[in-house]
C-alpha cells in the first residue's frame, strides 16, 4: 500500500475506504458494497483512491465474502485490488 498511496499500513488503521475515496465515487462504491452484502461478491466500478500527498490513483476491486466452514456465517471479506493508473 505504501508504494501506491504513500500511506504506511499503520496509518490506515481506524480508517474506512470511504474516508479515502473521492466523493464523486463514494455513491457507486456504496452501491457495490450493498451488492456485496446481498450477493456475496462484487466487482466495483473504477474509483479514485486518495494518496498521502493529496493526489489520486484509479483503482478497481473484486470482493468476496468468505464464510465460516462450520457455521456458514460470514467470516470476512477478501478483496483483490487493482491499480489502474
Which of the residues in the chain have pLDDT under 70? none
Is residue 26 within 8 A of residue 44, CB to CB? The reply is no
Q: Give the model's pLDDT for residue 46.
A: 98
14-35: string of b/e by CB count within 10 Å (b at 16+)?
Answer: eeebeebbeeebeeebeebbee
CATH code of the domain in which 17 resides:
3.30.450.20
Q: Give the model's pLDDT for residue 85.
A: 87
Q: Which residue segment(s) compose the domain that 58 sits in?
A: 2-83
Query: Which pTM was predicted?
Result: 0.88
Q: How many CB atoms lie within 10 A of CB 77?
A: 15
Q: Give the model's pLDDT for residue 84.
A: 96
Number of domains in the chain: 1
Q: Give the model's pLDDT for residue 72.
A: 86
Q: Give the model's pLDDT for residue 25.
A: 98
Only one residue has cell 451488492, namely: 35
Amino acid at each position: 500500500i505504501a508504494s501506491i498511496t504513500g500511506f504506511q499500513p499503520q496509518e490506515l488503521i481506524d480508517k474506512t475506504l470511504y474516508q479515502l475515496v473521492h466523493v464523486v465515487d463514494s455513491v457507486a462504491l456504496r452501491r457495490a458494497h450493498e451488492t456485496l452484502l446481498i450477493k456475496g461478491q462484487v466487482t466495483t466500478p473504477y474509483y479514485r483512491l486518495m494518496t498521502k500527498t493529496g493526489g489520486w490513483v484509479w483503482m478497481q476491486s473484486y470482493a468476496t465474502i468468505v464464510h465460516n466452514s462450520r457455521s456458514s456465517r460470514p467470516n470476512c471479506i477478501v478483496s483483490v485490488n487493482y491499480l489502474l493508473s
